Structure 1
């Protein structure tokens, strides 16, 4: 996003490139004051306010149709040149093709893998999670792999940023508490292994 000029520079889930969103909205609503930003940034700011933070470094991680992080330090967004916090693009595997965290562990990625595994184009992420709860081996493999990759992405966030507070949100996290617990368990396993070797 380019919030200053009201431009949607790049959206990985939409076919927008340098789309003048603010101007388009102003042409329809000429008397409106248009303020725009990334949805993850707005969710993060809401969480920052709800946590009553002031001087801390804070990270809001969303796991939904995409995977992203918004970072605030002392109440200001850390944007970098524009890709700060985009852990969804972190490389998780590099064999025949580069696989990113988002291409393995986002809602659409898990759903696509479930459809491939079950040879059923109607399987949804919700159905995948239900099958996982019933200990279906195919579903469990997909969900555990996604949780493992998200935990690795979070671990990278922790060691690079070392934030005071981290909040996880987004449709997958908010609606799948067992998936959240799998991520926690994997983070504990990573931590235990690192400290044993230290």
Structure 2
């Protein structure tokens, strides 16, 4: 039987995205539904229904599928296929692979952390040499990182890449990178400085572009924190390429250029090669689906 597609599933706290993905990383079709996070079983039923919908829409049976890959937030036991703990979805020690097999049968099924599968999509599509160190940093509601070499995601003891906990200087104090520099932090500082609860990160960036002093203070604080994080990755692992993902990076390329300007003043000359190889993700919203599918392709 000719099997053309794997199924990639990107599970988040607000939506579930399911896609049919070719071995080349092309997305043939997607289904997106709101996440039912009322309880563990409701969310599982929601995901199963989305998979069944995309199969039905494309006149496919599960026997025509290469495998199923899943990306989800939080801590994941990749070896045993268990969703260990997630802040924004109601799964704790949830045997996801086992439950999927009970519904869909004995086909390849793998799960991983959502940031890691997004990074894996970027890595596979770049087609880097096997021995090239790859880095990925997402800056959005949260901040996290992944490094990959020889098609192998670096995991440490299971919590590698959680750079959101990295200490940085922020407004004269030491706090975590995520608390200081993620999208909600930019909005929070904006609300404090403007004394306006309606201010969001997008408005802060707009004001920065218009030369507003308060916005400039906030954005420069964010630039310095993220420059610290990138410099730390470069010093520790010396990646050949670093891809920046997440809404804060993708929607603000001029902000990314400002980070590179700061990095240029900090990096050793032997590290300067990375300045031409820090790029913004060009995968338009499907890196979670593609990377999940790549787990079984």
Range moving further from structure 2, 98-107 or 87-96? 87-96
Give the TM-score, by structure 2 length.
Answer: 0.58
Within the candidate set 33, 58, 62, 2:138 is matched to: 62
1:129 aligned partner: 205
Greater strand fraction, Structure 1 or Structure 2: 2
1:43 aligned partner: 118
Show structure 1 runs of 4+ deviating over 4 A. Answer: 94-98
Give the TM-score, by structure 1 length.
Answer: 0.85
1:148 aligned partner: 224
Q: Does 1:14 align with 2:88?
A: yes
Within the candidate set 229, 234, 237, 1:158 is matched to: 234
Whole-Å separation in 2 of the counterparts to 1:127 and 1:142: 12
Whether contact under 8 Å (2:132, 2:149) holds in the other structure is yes
Q: How far off is 1:94 after superposition?
A: 9.0
Task: Report SS of the residue matched to 2:104.
Answer: coil
Whole-Å separation in 1 of the counterparts to 2:223 and 2:111: 31
Structure whose CA Rg is larger: 2
Whole-Å separation in 2 of the counterparts to 1:171 and 1:99: 22
Q: How far off is 1:191 after superposition?
A: 2.5
Q: How far off is 1:55 after superposition?
A: 2.1
2:215 aligned partner: 139
Could you list the runs of 5+ residues in structure 1 that have no partner in the other structure? none
Whole-Å separation in 2 of the counterparts to 1:96 and 1:137: 18
Question: Per the alignment, do residues 38 and 97 of structure 1 end up closer, same or farther by CA in structure 2, a change over 3 Å counting?
Answer: same
Question: Per the alignment, do residues 122 and 30 of structure 1 end up closer, same or farther by CA in structure 2, a change over 3 Å counting?
Answer: same
- The alignment yields a C-alpha RMSD, in angstroms, of 2.9
Greater helix fraction, Structure 1 or Structure 2: 1
Q: How far off is 1:68 after superposition?
A: 1.0
| Matched positions, count | 193
Could you list the runs of 5+ residues in structure 2 that have no partner in the other structure? 1-75, 272-297
Whether contact under 8 Å (1:8, 1:16) holds in the other structure is no
Deviations 1:109-139 (A, max 9, x none): 1111111111111111111110111111111
Question: Per the alignment, do residues 30 and 98 of structure 1 end up closer, same or farther by CA in structure 2, a change over 3 Å counting?
Answer: farther
Q: Counterparts in 2 of 1:99-118, with a 5 A limit? A: 99-118=175-194
Whole-Å separation in 1 of the counterparts to 2:166 and 2:202: 25
Q: How far off is 1:165 after superposition?
A: 1.7
Whether contact under 8 Å (1:111, 1:123) holds in the other structure is yes
Question: Per the alignment, do residues 83 and 120 of structure 1 end up closer, same or farther by CA in structure 2, a change over 3 Å counting?
Answer: same
Q: How far off is 1:17 after superposition?
A: 7.3
Whether contact under 8 Å (1:9, 1:16) holds in the other structure is no
